[in-house]
Chain A
Amino acid sequence: MTRNLLLRLQLWALRALRRPYYDLPLLGALLLLAACGLVTLYSASDLDRHLVLNQAARFLLGGVLMLAIARIPPQVLRNWTPFLYAASLLLLLAVAVLGQGRGANRWLNLGIMRFQPSELVKLTLPMMVAWYLHARDLPPRWGTLAAVAVLIGAPALLIAKQPDLGTALLVVASGVFAVFLAGLAWWRIGLIVGAAAGGAPLAWHFMHEYQRNRLRMFLDPESDPLGNGWHIIQSEIAVGSGGILGKGWHHGTQSRLEFLPEHTTDFVFAVFSEEWGLLGVAALLLLYLFIVGRGLMIAANARDTYSRLLAGAISMAFFVYVMVNGGMITGLLPVVGVPLPLISYGGTSAVSLLAGFGVLMSIHAHRRLLPR
């Protein structure tokens, strides 16, 4: 079984080298990141081989998906976009009605596997926005913006209701980035940001109590050191005690002794920071920046508006993961359940991320083949 998989991998690798379907720098960076993730997880889980193998299997699944999507021409994706978007909206509605999961209704049980429709939306939403914008006059005006707002808002609200603020945030971000890249006038951006700031108290009103608590704790974590502030404090201790060089792999006491909550998922970055220090963090952040930059480069070289906007939105949304997660574990941002891409343990986000990169690669691979 494993041998079979390895052989297939080899085959893909050979093909990729022969024909530049896949963007090698991006692929290399992703592989590096995934390897880094597995090594970190092995330590964070206190040498739980089973957990690491699980995650590796997901990477494999995501990788296959990525390479498969890379072979689909962007045109085909574009044609399917409205239907994919509609389907994902329906699934979100299904979750709202039938969903199951601990604390939050995010999951849909498909018999053999559980499935999180919100992960799908992370991809279909920027596709939909790009699809919608590519046919409009750009830069977008208020009318277009309103339509886009509806396209973004509907799934975002459904996801936020689950409640999954982190994913809602990522979904909104990917849509917003598409609009930004479409060249939305700076003065309009200014107006929207101003209005959003004014509307913040309204958002507070609609938040769940636990979400409010997270915000309160973010503002003053030491006020409740054993309650909600615990996560932030322990995470900062882990990061700070790592110093410049770190404590060394599997020498991070904060995670090994279980002071860090969620140390294989949302707070895995704190484990990484504790063990690899500021040097490791800087390297990791540079790797992320490289991936985002490479994605934007692919976007810039894409041949049509849809591909450009989609590739750009996916790349920039990828950064949001890093920023929100990194901000959270260092106490810079409130605790929001956003994983560190390709490092945090968890299948669906890894798969959906890699699927997104599959779209990027498709756009890259088909850049010259597209008709003018």
Chain B
Amino acid sequence: MKTFFGKSSLQIKDAHSEAARFRLRAIAGFLLIAALLTTLGARFAWLQINRHQEFSARSDQNRISVRRVAPTRGLIFDRNGVLLADNTAAFRLEVVPEQVKERDLKHMLDELAGVIALSDDDIEHFNALRRSKHAFESIPLRFKLSEDEIARFSIERWRFPGVDVVPYLTRSYPRGEEFAHLIGYVGRIDEADAEKLDAARYAGTTHIGKTGIERSYEDVLHGEPGYVLEEVNVDKRPLQEIKRVPPTPGKNLYLSVDARMQRAAIDAFEGRAGAAVALDPRNGEVLAMVCVPSFDPNLFVNGIGKVDYSTLLNAPDRPLLNRAIAGGYTPGSTVKPYVALGGLELGLRRPSDTVLSTGEFFIPGQARGYRDDKRGGHGRVDLVQAISQSVNTYFYSLALDMGIDRFSGWMSKFGFGKPTGIDLIGESSGVLPSREWKRGRMNQAFYPGETVIAGIGQGYWVITPIQLAQAVSILAARGVRHKPHLVRAIQDGLNAPATPVALPAPEPNIMRNIDNWTPVQQGMIAVVNGGGTASGLGKDFPYVIAGKTGTAERFSRTDEEWTSISTAPIERHEVLFEAFAPADDARVAVIVALEAGRSGAHDAAPIVRKVLDTWLKDDDVRTAGGPSP
């Protein structure tokens, strides 16, 4: 009938009806197509009318990128406007990977190393950054180029397309070691920092305060970032700038510290390990805060090398430790004035009450003896003599009479055993011996013998230099505490006036009877001026100095043999001195703690005197109206 290839043998087709049928089908097909195209048109209309705003916004989101511009970090000055933390212009080497010849980075780096020294750290850091950036972005390779290096690179520059010398601002600390612990330093933002930070605020920032003031006042110093709106393509390559909002620089800080006092204190240490703190008892301003040994904070700004860091970290004298707020010292006899004041305040002693010092003190019913410093004792002494001669027996018996609860309750009013709240991060609490502390730490009862030695600042006692400075300031201010603080004023731009930082409301006096203060003051005056332990220290000083020595045993005594101080090896004692001046109307309080020395009077007191001498030079400036010598 029909063959597949070839015409039908029975072609009796009705051409007319076929054409008519085709017409109908063509019309049906056209209508179908028109309907479907209308559907398509409706879809377009829905996207372009109903959802136009949404897609418009998303299109803008696509094409506009926000690039944050990091603000300039605020500067830090001392109280007299001496610059302590600066932003200095420096030059670094930057590489745009996609512009590097034949994109052979490795070869380029090898060649470049022949012109400018590149450490493994540099290359490692560069490679890490490169992985997280686009090929058209400039990536820093070497920071802080020297002039010599810049000159050498300029000659060879034609060999290195895509490599360029770029200026930038870097943090620098012109006073170096002097303020390393106080100012601290900034360092590159690491992963741990990045987790805590407000990503938008720090988007363009490379460095953040790691320690010291730089860390405590990070929020103030950082400033607010600006931004640039740019049109970008799908690879985020910026094509044109749409809008630019400049960043707001960080605020400048004026510290209460006097750079000259700081310098003088450091010089006076002559390299011996320890710390010194000078406060203004009238307001809690820190005038000097010194840690020896120290380190160069500039090393940390652009990443300290691994070798340098481990050297600093493992040095036996621990230069990285901020001794002033985190160093633990045994206060020794420096606590005696506070204990004496406690005896008066608690009504356990009158100023005229005397105690017989025989060279050894016994708790009733116990065989163990607690020694005086002087063989055979000091004889019968009253409060003033007990302080000036540092008579242990007086304080053994007083502490025993107080009992540990009243003792620690009273001493805590001077801020022992808890952070002072100074505006620095990393402060230690120290240890104020108490029943609670011992139970919490060792789950043991407190024994009377421990109370006795607590009375002379031995035993469980641990203080930080800032705590002792605060205590002597409270005493100097006749019982009024001012929280120690470092930042005195904040300035919004160098041309703006510096706004003083609001001080907390003065705290209530810790003393009930203000008259009790005088005998203690007299005792401390006698230490310096009345043939006491530090006599001669006030020589040629225009004001009366009140002070107290402290000589604490660094190692527990293993034998029962009495040893005189003068024959003791120097390393055996932590030596301290606390002082305030003028004795009647204190404007400065200083403490010095040395980790090794013969005695507080011999080693620590002279440092205090040198700090006071420097303080004196500017006293009239600090005190409006001027002093009357």
Contacting pair A253 B59 (CB below 8 A)? yes
Known: A181-B22, A257-B231, A330-B40. 17 other contacts (CB 8 A): A180-B25, A181-B29, A183-B22, A241-B52, A241-B56, A241-B59, A243-B56, A278-B45, A281-B48, A282-B41, A289-B37, A300-B19, A308-B19, A308-B22, A326-B40, A327-B40, A332-B40
| Residue in chain A with minimal CB distance to B8 | A135
Pick from A183, A257, A322 the residue with the most CB of B within 10 Å: A257
CB distance from A235 to the nearest CB of B (A): 10
Any chain A CB within 8 A of the CB of B562? Answer: no
Is the CB–CB distance between B47 and A138 below 8 Å?
no
Q: Is A273 an interface residue (CB 8 A)?
A: yes
**Cβ–Cβ contact A138 & B18, under 8 A:** yes
- Residues of chain A within 8 A (CB-CB) of B49 are 243-244, 278
CB of B63 closer than 8 Å to a CB of A: yes
Contact B62 A253 (CB under 8 A): yes
A332→B47 CA distance, assembly (Å): 11
A240 and B54 contacting across the interface, CB-CB below 8 Å: yes
Residues 284-308 of chain A: 1 if any B CB is under 8 Å from the residue's CB, otherwise 0? 0100110011001101100011001
Q: Does B568 contact A (CB under 8 A)?
A: no
Chain B residues near A349 (CB-CB < 8 A): none
Q: Determine if A266 is an interface residue (Cβ-Cβ < 8 Å).
A: no
* Any A CB within 8 A of the CB of B21: yes
- Which residues of A have CB within 8 Å of B22? 181-183, 299-300, 305, 308-309, 312
CB pair A330 B62 closer than 8 Å:
no
Contacting residue for B37 out of A242, A244, A296, A323, CB 8 A = A323
Query: Do the beta carbons of A243 and B29 come within 8 Å of each other?
Result: no
B residues 4-19 with Cβ under 8 Å of A?
A: 4-8, 11, 13, 15, 18-19
Q: Indicate the member of A234, A253, A258, A304 with the most B CB atoms within 10 Å.
A: A253
Q: B: which residues have CB within 8 A of A?
A: 2, 4-8, 11, 13, 15, 18-19, 21-23, 25-26, 29-30, 33-34, 36-37, 39-41, 43-45, 47-49, 51-52, 54-56, 58-59, 62-63, 231-235, 239
Q: How far is the CB of A17 from chain B (nearest CB, A)?
A: 28
Known: A239-B47, A253-B59, A257-B231. A136 touches B2 (CB 8 A): yes
Minimum C-beta distance from A307 to chain B (A): 10
Q: Interface readout for A311-355 with B: 1 if CB under 8 Å, 0 if not?
A: 010001001001100110011100000000000000000000000
User: Is B233 a contact partner of A258 (Cβ separation < 8 A)?
Assistant: yes
**Chain A 228-267 against B: per-residue CB contact (8 Å), 1 yes, 0 no?**
0000001011111111100000000110111100000000
Q: Contact: B30 with A292, CB < 8 Å?
A: yes
- Whether B55 pairs with A289 at a CB distance below 8 angstroms is no
A138 touches B21 (CB 8 A): yes
The answer to whether A209 has its CB under 8 Å from any CB of chain B is no
Can you name the residue of chain A whose Cβ is closest to the Cβ of B7?
A: A135
| Contact status B48-A278, CB under 8 Å | yes
A237/B40 contact (C-beta < 8 A), A82-B5, A253-B62, A300-B26 known: no
Contact B26 A181 (CB under 8 A): yes
Residues A330 and B52 in contact, CB atoms below 8 Å apart:
no
B146 to chain A, nearest CB (A): 42
Whether the pair B29, A300 counts as a contact (CB closer than 8 A) is no
Least CB distance from B338 to A in Å reads 67
User: Is A277 part of the contact surface with B, judged by Cβ < 8 Å?
Assistant: yes
Is A207 on the interface with B (CB-CB < 8 A)? no
Report if A258-B40 is in contact (Cβ < 8 Å); known contacts: A253-B63, A296-B26. Answer: no
- Also in contact, A240 and B26, with CB within 8 A (given A257-B239, A308-B19): no
Contacts of A282 in B (CB 8 A): 41, 44
CA distance A74 to B5 in the complex (A): 18
- Complex: chain A residue closest to B38, CB-CB: A285
CB distance from B321 to the nearest CB of A (A): 49
Q: Is residue A104 contacting chain B, with contact meaning CB distance below 8 A?
A: no
Instruction: List the A residue with the shortest CB-CB distance to B61.
Output: A237
Asked if A241 and B40 make an inter-chain contact with CB atoms under 8 angstroms apart, the answer reads no
Q: Cβ of A147 < 8 Å from any Cβ of B?
A: yes
Contacting residues, chain B, for A305 (C-beta < 8 A):
13, 15, 18, 22
How many angstroms from the CA of A242 to the CA of B58 in the assembled complex? 12
For A138, list chain B residues within 8 Å (CB).
Answer: 13, 18, 21
Q: Are B59 and A181 in contact (CB under 8 A)?
A: no
Chain B hits for A331, CB < 8 A: 43
Point out which of A277, A278, A312 has the most chain B C-beta atoms below 10 A from its C-beta: A278
- Cα A26 to Cα B26 with chains together (Å): 17
Which B residues touch A296, using CB under 8 A? 26, 29-30
Are B43 and A316 in touch, CB under 8 angstroms? Answer: no
Which chain A residues numbered 122 to 168 have a C-beta less than 8 Å away from chain B?
135-139, 147
Q: Given known contacts A135-B7, A136-B8, A312-B22, is B2 in contact with A237 (CB within 8 Å)?
A: no
B33 to A289, Cβ gap below 8 A? yes
Query: Interface majority SS on B: helix, strand, loop or mixed?
Result: helix
Q: Do A237 and B37 touch (CB < 8 A)?
A: no
Give Cα A289–Cα B55 distance, bound, in whole angstroms: 28
- Whether A254 touches B40, Cβ cut-off 8 Å, given contacts A239-B47, A296-B30, is no
Cβ-closest chain A residue relative to B34: A289
Nearest CB of A to B64, in Å? 9
In the assembled complex, 7 residue pairs joining A and B whose CB atoms fall closer than 8 Å, in A order, are: A183-B18, A257-B234, A258-B235, A277-B48, A278-B44, A322-B37, A326-B44
Q: Contacts of A300 on B, CB cut-off 8 Å?
A: 19, 22-23, 26
Which residue in A135, A237, A322 is a CB contact (below 8 Å) of B58?
A: A237
Lowest 8 A-B CB distances belong to which pairs? A240-B55, A241-B59, A257-B233, A258-B234, A240-B47, A278-B48, A241-B55, A253-B63
A323 in contact with B44 given A254-B62, A296-B30 (CB within 8 Å): no
Contact A285 B26 (CB under 8 A): no
Chain B's closest residue to A304 (CB) is B15
- A42 adjacent to chain B (CB < 8 Å): no
**A241–B56 alpha-carbon span in the complex (Å):** 4
Closest residue of B by beta carbon distance from A323: B36
> Any chain B CB within 8 A of the CB of A177?
yes
On whether the beta carbons of B44 and A183 are closer than 8 Å, the reply is: no
Among B7, B25, B30, B44, contact of A293 (Cβ-Cβ < 8 Å): B30
**Contact at B47–A330, with CB atoms within 8 Å?**
yes
* Most chain A C-beta atoms within 10 Å of own C-beta, residue among B8, B29, B233: B29
Report how far A299 CA is from B24 CA in the complex, Å. 12
When the two chains form their complex, are residues A237 and B55 in contact, meaning their CB atoms are under 8 A apart?
yes
Task: List residues of chain B with CB within 8 A of the CB of A256.
Answer: 233
Assess A285 versus B40: contact at CB under 8 Å? Given A236-B47, A254-B59.
Answer: yes
A281 touches B41 (CB 8 A): yes
The chain B residue sitting closest to A143, CB to CB, is: B2
CB pair A332–B43 under 8 Å, yes or no, is yes
CB-CB under 8 A from A277, the residues of chain B are 48
Q: Which residues of B contact A330 (CB under 8 A)?
A: 40, 43-44, 47
Contact A319 B233 (CB under 8 A): no
Taking CB atoms, residues of chain A closer than 8 Å to B7 are 135
Q: Which residue in A136, A239, A285 is a CB contact (below 8 Å) of B41?
A: A285
Say yes or no: A181-B44 contact (C-beta < 8 A), given A135-B8, A241-B56.
no
Chain A: CB-nearest residue to B62: A259
Q: Which of B15, B23, B44 has the most CB of A within 10 A?
A: B44
- In the bound assembly, the distance between CA atoms of A309 and B25 in angstroms comes to 10
- Residue of A with least CB distance to B235: A258
> In the complex the two chains form, what is the Cα distance from A53 to B581 in whole Å?
93
CB <8 Å contact, B13 and A319:
no
Of all chain A residues, which has the CB nearest B58?
A: A237
Give the Cβ gap from B134 to chain A, nearest Cβ, in Å: 14
Closest-by-CB residue of A relative to B47 is A240
Shortest distance from the beta carbon of A63 to any chain B beta carbon, whole Å: 25
Q: Is the CB of B29 within 8 A of A239?
A: no
Please name all residues of chain B whose beta carbon is closer than 8 Å to the beta carbon of A182 when the two chains form the complex.
Answer: 22, 25
Are the C-beta atoms of B48 and A273 separated by less than 8 Å?
Answer: yes
Cα–Cα distance between A323 and B44 once the two chains are bound (Å): 12
The interface residues of chain A lying within 8 Å CB-to-CB of B19 are 300, 308
The chain A residue with its CB closest to the CB of B55 is A240
Residues of A near B25 (CB, < 8 A) are 180-183, 312
Q: Which of B2, B13, B55 has the most CB of A within 10 A?
A: B55
Min Cβ gap A244→B in Å is 6
Q: In the complex where A281-B41, A308-B22, A330-B44 touch, is A257 in contact with B33 (Cβ < 8 A)?
A: no
